[in-house]
Chains A and B, each alone.
Chain A
Amino acid sequence: MSNEVSPPVPLVAAPSTARMGRFAEFWFYFSVNKGAVIGLTVLAFLVLVAVLGPLIAPHAPYEQYREALLTPPAWQEGGNSNFLLGTDAVGRDLLSRLIYGARFSLFIGLIVVAISMVTGVILGVLAGYFRGWVDALIMRIMDIILAFPPLLLALVLVAILGPGLFNAMIAIALVLQPHFARLTRAAVMSEKNREYVIAAKLAGAGHIRLMFKTILPNCLAPLIVQGTLSFSNAILEAAALGFLGMGAQPPTPEWGTMLAEAREFILRAWWVVTFPGLAILITVLAINLVGDGLRDALDPKLKRS
């Protein structure tokens, strides 16, 4: 009996070392993926820029410099070192608008993921836990949502709700939410019949406790991955809606809206289109790389031992 019991460890040290150990293990698998580390660095930089926006932006985002319309970037002929990335058609500094735009994009991603994850997870848990008609009802509704092209559905929703950034976010959240529901349902179904769930039931746990306290924490890994990938999706769709004039309304410095405003100058002033586009590209790419890295690190099936 005694040979089985490991040597005593101080009571307080145990939980923190366990958490540290788990984080160290996570970091080990995450850092193997170089792209993910690069993505994380870029993302951290973007967050920093967004947070410090008002401090580092050289100009106010709405300030119009009438004497400097469509100034090219500083390194080009006719450029002005006052406007590093040039100005747009009404003389607003592009760099400052991009910096403020980062705030919008990250905010959109955060809110959309929060809304769609919460509703999707709750619906998915209900469907996977109760099965039967609850499952059928919820999943058929999800199937119907998934049957629409996502952008089209978002467009229709915004048309109903009225254009605007907030309505666009709700519409995108609704479009992205079935993915969470499906993923959660599948994970809950596989966990539900595990013995520890039966044991918790025998200990007297009710439905709510079983669903959200016992089962859900064990289904989180795929949801975190889906969350990051949806984050970039949300930014893209918000930009697309903005470009179509259904998302953020001008003069909001939202990247998609900036693209839409710049459409007519594509041939004359390449920078007004290129930089917002690049910003979207880089952000989405970075988040997707992080998402891939998270999947590698959190999915036990992909772990190399």
Chain B
Amino acid sequence: MSEIVLEGRNIVRDYHVAGGLFGKAKTVRAVKGVSFTLEKGKTLAIVGESGCGKSTLGRILTLIDPQSEGELLIDGKPINIAKDRVTPEMRRKVQIIFQNPYGSLNPRQKIGEVLGEPLLLNTNKTAAERRELAMQMLVKVGLGPEHYNRYPHMFSGGQRQRIAIARALMLSPSLLVLDEPVSALDLSVQAQVLNLLADLQDEFNLTYVFISHDLSVVRYIADEVMVMYYGEVVEYGTREEVFSNPQHSYTKTLFAATPKSDVASIKARLEKKKAAA
């Protein structure tokens, strides 16, 4: 058993909706007691429909939002950002990659600055060292040193997502939360970015939390799968278990809802239509 990088114990997140003049204040429980463990170098996929709480969970794991209840342990250390400040060491351990590569890069910042900023703020490397590291990282994610001085608007979606990945890796984190990293990209670029992520995982021994609603992507990249439905975990197990033998009715519905394009299933669908008519 290798070391456990990330552990959630009964994590709960409540959103308080302030009451207006005529309405009462409400509490919405977006994440209802989620527990899991994740080993180093593995990928946990969190699957579910829109609004099921998977992105909220992702934000808690990345230390953006605090959990309302429950414990979050990173590298065995409990952390609750509602109570104590996030130390630079903690920041360095977890990074996130967002869904929309067009929104996640500052339009006024050159790529070199985008990549150098984490180093500038968290380490005391010199400008030359930062530049050198940024150049190396650009090459690692499949771009070139010539992109160092360009602005984000000069890049395509796939290239921007590579830049976002490079930025996340600058501080060599152990855990990377990927919030639907490929759903804004077109299919061929999706495959390239997924391959890149897989390569980087091998190279840096990264641990991924992969948030997605795309089951074919999940099947490709995940070691463990967690299915969420209305803030609850309805299914949690290894990829093989979940995909071959889904237990919960929602998981079955989810699998059934995946479009099938093989000839047999199309024929079957046409037969059904004919029979119904």
Interface on A for B, CB 8 Å cutoff? Answer: 1, 4-5, 8-11, 14-15, 18, 194-196, 198-205, 209, 214, 217-218
Contacts and interface: CB of A to CB of B under 8 A. Distances in A.
Nearest to A197: B106
B110 A204 contact: no
Interface stretch (B8-16, B22-30, B138-146, B242-250): B138-146
B142 A1 contact: yes
Which 3 A-B residue pairings sit nearest by Cβ, starting from the closest? A203-B118, A204-B121, A195-B104
B135 to A, nearest CB: 10
Interface stretch (B42-50, B94-102, B229-237): B94-102
Interface in B89-120: 91, 94-96, 98, 100, 103-110, 117-118
Contact of A202 (B64, B146, B148, B189): B64
A218 B107 contact: yes
B104 A199 contact: yes
Contacts of A218: 106-108
Given A199-B98, A202-B64, A205-B121, A5 B151 contact: no
A284 B109 CA distance: 35
A95 B254 CA distance: 82
Given A4-B156, A201-B64, A204-B121, A14 B103 contact: no
A195 B192 contact: no
B158 interface: yes
Given A8-B144, A204-B91, A195 B64 contact: no
Contacts of A204: 88, 91, 118, 121-122
Contacts of A209: 121
Contacts of A194: 103
B130 interface: no
Contacts of A10: 146
A209 B144 CA distance: 28
Contacts of B64: 198, 201-202
B154 interface: yes
Interface of B: 62-64, 88, 91, 94-96, 98, 100, 103-110, 117-118, 121-122, 142-146, 148-151, 154, 156, 158-159, 164, 167, 171, 189, 192, 195-196
B96 A4 contact: no
B143 A195 contact: no
B192 A200 contact: no
B96 A202 contact: yes
Contacts of B192: 1, 4
Given A1-B192, A11-B148, A202-B62, A196 B105 contact: yes
Given A201-B64, A214-B106, 17 more contacts: A1-B195, A4-B158, A4-B192, A5-B143, A5-B144, A5-B159, A11-B145, A11-B149, A15-B110, A18-B150, A18-B154, A198-B64, A198-B98, A200-B106, A203-B171, A204-B121, A217-B108
A31 to B, nearest CB: 22
B197 to A, nearest CB: 13
B91 A202 contact: yes
A84 to B, nearest CB: 49
Nearest to A218: B108
Contacts of A196: 103-107, 109
A14 B142 contact: no
B108 A195 contact: no
A224 B90 CA distance: 40
B85 to A, nearest CB: 11
A269 B144 CA distance: 73
A15 B111 CA distance: 11
Nearest to A13: B149
A199 B156 CA distance: 19
Indicate the member of A10, A14, A18, A205 with the most B CB atoms within 10 Å: A14
Nearest to A215: B106
B110 A4 contact: no
Contacts of B88: 204
A200 B114 CA distance: 9
